[in-house]
Each structure stands twice: as structure tokens, then as C-alpha cells.
Amino acid sequence: MTEYTYNSDYLMRDGKPWFPVMGEMHFTRYNEALWEESLRKMKAGGVTIVSTYMIWIHHEEEEGVFDFSGCRNVRKFVELCEKVGLQVCLRLGPWVHGEVRNGGFPDWVVKKGEEGIELRSNDEAYMALVRRYWSRIYEQVEGLMLKDGGPVIAMQLENEYGHVGGFRGEKGEAHMRGLMALAKELGLEVPIYTATGWGGAVIGDCIPVMGGYCEAPWEQSFEEISANTNYVISHVRNDALIACDHHVEGAVTFDESAFPYLTAELGGGMQVTSHRRPVATGPDIGAMSTTKLASGVALLGYYMYHGGSNPKGKLSTMQESRGTGYLNDLPEINYDFNAPVRQYGTISDNYKEIKLLAAFLKDFGEDMAPMKSEIFPEDVKPEDTHTLRTSCRHDDTHGYVFFNNYQRRRTMDDHQGVVFKGLTAAGEVVFPAVDIVGGTYGFFPYHMRMGSAVLVSALATPFCRLNGEEGTYVFYGDYAPRYLWQDGKEADVLHLTREQALNAWKVALDQDYLVISDNYVWEENGGLAVTGNAHTRILMYPEPVKAPAGFGKAGTEGRFVVYEREIIGKGTEAEYRELSGSAAEARRRELFGRAAEDGFQRIFGDADTSVYEITLSYSGKEERSSGRDTLLWLDYAGIGMEVFLDGQKINDHFYTGQKVPVSLGYFGFPEKLEVVVSGLKEDDKVFIESWPEMKGGKACSLDRVEVTEEYR
């Protein structure tokens, strides 16, 4: 059995340094028929641990009535993680937040709190409720703990405890210890127990995990907020932005020197709120992640890594809202989060940026994990757009120099002729001068052992290694790399541009291959799974004995072989029309009345609305799980939008300026949808980074509908 431990600097697996990448996916917020595909997408992106909340209200909405069926089937989800080859961290709660109604507490639990039970404490009545719920969880995952040979290696207890509710001081610590004792008593035993540690949260005897987001949609301001500290290379672990709406004083409650710097909630994106709608971009996430590596982090954990949709409740909707006592209104259904893998499984630029680092850590993380960071300079302020932010992460013999010249929503100075210096016990390693322009970030290795060769320095970044230590090393970068080797002995290097690296995938088949493709690629049943459109083009290195299934060889590009796939005779057409006058008013009343019967409420108040009917025609349809999907992209202008199928609301969206994808395969390839756009007014109190064109002081229109096909 694999052994998982830790010391004060890093995690260990079987006694060796281990640098995993963790990604959050909520199984209850996604179609269970597509779980395996999504888990393969996450693994292909470099995720090694899947974290997931056990959201109490999703499983026991009515007291004593448990539901672990369909999208709530945690056992099936964990078994699929094991099948795909991913470890699991169950975030048990019982309170989780997660932008869920009551922070995940069922309404009946909240009512018991109002009647006198002290929630989130060692109150015997509360702990009895937790015992009953966790006992049912254990029944579902029994035999899947690491001790039984299963994939569950970690559990998180509570969330933001002592920061967002709960108790601080000894009473809070005692409750965290009480939860751990209960989990172990029930059989929920794992080698690693974690607790969120930011904002003065208490951790009991757990390992603290930290977070960091590139903006704060929960911030109550309608204005641009100050520059984000998560782009400053720093030894400060606490992100004061997280849940800053709770205004809890105090940074951390634990001795940082006793624990490795682990993260569980780096924002893979951000879930917008009704009043604040920042959009997380690929560079936002890439620069923040690089900054955390430069700061000495020993686990990159992302929340969310996979978006989804809130499940339908029996008694109410499931989103966080001001109506349930929180400060923010969230969409009723949409939990896209602008995540690396989005609401319906589409790829994002955030995914590609994280993959750059995750691929590196998979092959070289054991080497980097023990390295500590020295930061130059140490006192940079987030609003300082003039100073280049750098660090050196190293041991006595080798290391990596990091730089970040990116600050979200700010313009950084260019820096000419920068000379990086790597530190060793024997002295400095001086790099060739290089120009670092504003908006860039990255790292370079020095004295890097590559099989029997040693790379003294290079103005290029390692991506992965193919076929062992004496195989091919893949680097990337848009600078002249200037590889300098020790004693003239060179390793085999395949150099990519940064754009190529963003679209690069390492796949293990009969040997390791590097595939260049702008959509998902993974190994499945010994073959290559490639997601693309009707015409898909990929590059492979080295050349396989046989072309990938469905592809034909189409030439070469440098060291790569080009393959192409054509899918003929399938397609989808979409037409849309705006309903007007009495027809629009009648349909509006019908749709909103039906939605209310289904438990949904209007999310945009009494704003003006426009109603559209979209007609879809297909040339051949299959099940979504067969590998085909059709994506409908809605380009609209308004405060928000709701999508209906057969009179039932299936999605909603708060306007951000982005095109909104709807997977038609996810909903069985419907032939008609209806869209209601609610009007945005110039004086609406809302922060939007990119406002639409206003006509007569408002915007309320569906401007364009596009269709794209995806095949696997």
C-alpha cells in the first residue's frame, strides 16, 4: 500500500517528495453519465487528486430521507476516479459553503439551529446529526479508503471554520478535533486530514490548506478593486481577499513553519455574483499559479477545476442567495465558474495554463518539492507596476529562477536586458540577458540534470519528459533559448513555442508521445482519444507505428508527424426568432409560471425581457456519451439570461460579456429551446468588466447564435 505523509516543507509518497496537483469537481453538479469522460479530461490536464464536497443538502434535503442515486452517487464517482487513476480528497463538511444554499446545510438543520441546537459546535445534538449523515457517507464509500486499497487518501473537515461562522479559539479547535475523532470512529480513516487555514480559520489537528483568487466576486463594491496580492511573489500564505465580506481579523491561527505550504482553493476561475462579475482569463490563472510556485507552494489545488450545474431540489433551489442570509445572489442553476473544464465539459484557456505547470510537476515535481524560495525584492506592493517580481527556488546545487511581470487589470513596465542569477552553495549561475515585457511570467532552470547530461542554463521552460531519463525533454518558450550544457554533453531537447505548449499533451501508449491539439487528448483503452470538430488536425512526436484511429497521415512539420481527421455528413443548424407583442407576453407568463411551479424564482426581478425561440435541426444524432456533442453559443446583451426546454428552465447566466455555451448533447439534442433575456440598464448597480453597447439606455437582446460540433 502506498504511504502518504508530510514534513514541514512538502508532501511525501512512499518516503519521496511528492508534488501533486488537485482539482475540484462536484459530482452532484454534473451528469453522472459523463463523469468518466470529465475525470479523464482532468487527468489529461495534469490533475492527480480530485477533491469534491459532500454537500449535505444534496443528500438529505428532507430529514432522514437520504439520496445517493443518479448524480448524487458518491460511490460510483469514487470508483470511476479509481478506474481512471486519480486519488480522491473527500471534503466532508458538514458545512461547506461552495456557493450552496445555507452553505450546504439542509433547511431542516438550519431550523434546528434556530430552535436552539448550537450548529457547528460539539453540541451533542448537532454532533448526533453529523454522526448520522457521515455514517451514511461511510456506507457509500466503505472499502474505498486507502487502507482498503482504494483511492481516497485525504479528507477535509468543515470549511473556513472560525472565519465564516463557527467558533474561534479553543472552542473552535475542540470542534475540529471532535469532527476528526468522529470521522475516524466511523471508519472514515485516511492518512491526510486537512482544514482551510485562511482568514483566522482554526484547524484543530489537521494540515492547513490555503487559497487565492484573482478577484473577489463576493466583494460588495461595484467598483474596480485594488491590485491583487496573489500576483506578488511572497512568503505570506494568507489571502485576505477570500471571504473578505466577513471582515474577520487575523491572518492564520497555526505555526506556518510546522506545515508545508499547500493550497486547496486557488481559483481555477471565479463564480460571478449578481452584483459583481469579473471574468477569470487564462493569463490571470497562469500568472497567479506561477507566482504561487515562485513563492514556495508545495501543492497546487484548484477550486473549481470543473464547472457544473446546481441539481434540482425537492423543496427549493440550491444556490447561495441573499434570501438565505448570505450577502450574494448566485445563478439558480449555472455553476460554470469560468473553470478550466467548464459547465458542460468544454475546454478553457485556464485549463491550458494550468496544464503547463501540471505537466512539469508530474515529471519534475519530486525535484522541485523540497526547494525553498528566496524572493527578490521582498517588499513589492501589488500596485507597483514598475518592479520586476522574481525569486529563486533552489537547493545547494540547482534550481529555477522565476519571474512575474503580470498584474491583473494593470499595465506592467517592460524590462530590457534582465540578467537572472540562480543560487547554489558554490555561487551564482548567471543567465544570458533577456527582455521581459509587461504581461509575461515564467521560470527557467539551471544545473538541471537530464539523464546523463546537465543543463547549466536555458531561457526556456521544461514541460515534460518523454520515455525516461535518457529520452526526449520537451521545453517551451518564445525567447532564443540559448541552451548551455555542462562539458558539452547534450540531452535530446524538443523545443516548442509557448502557444504549442499550451496545446501540448503527453500521452502514454506503447511509449510516451507528445500530441499537439487545441482540444482534449487522452489515453483510453490503449488508444488515443482526441476531441475536435468535423476537421481535426493533430501533430505527434515520435511517429507511431499506426496512425491514430480515424486519422490519416498528412505530412510532417519539423520533428512532428501531422494527422488529420474528417467527419462527413453530420452537422447542426440553428435558427432563432424573437417573439413579440401578445405572443411574447403569453409565452413569458407561461415560462415564468412553469419555472415557479418547478421551484425556481425570477432571478432578475421586474426588468424588461425579450423572448426568443431557437429551432435546431440535426444531420445525425447520437447519445452525448457516444463522443459527439453539439455546442450552442449564445451571444447576448442584458443583465442576464434564462434558457428553457419544454417549458422547464435548464440554465441561467449572469451577463459578463462572454458567449455562453449550451451543450445540446447534455440535454439529449433538443429540437427547440427558448431564451429569455432580461434588460440591463445604464444605472444598474453591478460591476461588469465589459459592458455591452447600450441602446436608449439599456441592452436586452440575443444578438447571435452559433453552433459548433465536437467529436471524440
Give the pLDDT of residue 41: 98
The answer, yes or no, to whether residue 603 has pLDDT greater than 70, is: no
Contacts of 170 (CB under 8 A, 6+ apart): none
Pick the last residue of a domain from 367, 398, 428.
Answer: 367
Give the β-pairing of 389-394 and 399-405: antiparallel
User: What is the DSSP code string of 73-112?
Assistant: -HHHHHHHHHHHT-EEEEEEESS--TTBGGGG--HHHHHH
Q: Are 640 and 655 in contact (CB under 8 A)?
A: yes
Residues 101 and 147 in one domain: yes
Residues 61 and 158 in one domain: yes
pLDDT tier for residue 711 given thresholds of 50, 70 and 90: very high
Q: Residue 594: helix, strand or coil by DSSP?
A: helix
Residues 396 and 261 in one domain: no
Residues 146 and 108 in one domain: yes
N-terminal to C-terminal alpha carbon distance within the chain = 35
Average pLDDT rounded to a whole number, residues 490-514: 98
pLDDT digits (tens, 9 = 90+) for 558-568: 999 999 999 98
Any idea what DSSP says for residue 488? G
Residues 108 and 155 in one domain: yes
Residues 341 and 473 in one domain: no
The CATH code of the domain that includes 337 is 3.20.20.80
pLDDT digits (tens, 9 = 90+) for 534-588: 999 999 999 999 999 999 999 999 999 999 999 987 789 999 999 999 999 899 8
Residues 306 and 356 in one domain: yes
Residues 343 and 392 in one domain: no
Q: Are 96 and 55 in contact (CB under 8 A)?
A: yes
Report the number of distinct structural domains present in the chain. 4
The answer, yes or no, to whether residue 404 has pLDDT greater than 90, is: yes
Pick the last residue of a domain from 314, 345, 367.
Answer: 367
Residues 547 and 674 in one domain: no
Structural domain of residue 471, as residue ranges?
371-491
Give the pLDDT of residue 592: 82
The answer, yes or no, to whether residue 462 has pLDDT greater than 60, is: yes
- Label residue 100 left, alpha or beta by phi (over 0 means left) and psi (-120 to 50 means alpha): beta
Q: Are 10 and 298 in contact (CB under 8 A)?
A: yes
Query: Of 299-308, 314-323, 575-584, 613-622, where does mean pLDDT reach its minimum?
Result: 613-622
Residues 290 and 402 in one domain: no
Pick the last residue of a domain from 460, 491, 522.
Answer: 491
Q: Are 492 and 474 in contact (CB under 8 A)?
A: no
Residues 519 and 609 in one domain: no
Q: Quick one: what percent of the chain has pLDDT higher than 70? A: 97
pLDDT tier for residue 604 given thresholds of 50, 70 and 90: low
Residues 562 and 588 in one domain: no
The CATH code of the domain that includes 643 is 2.60.120
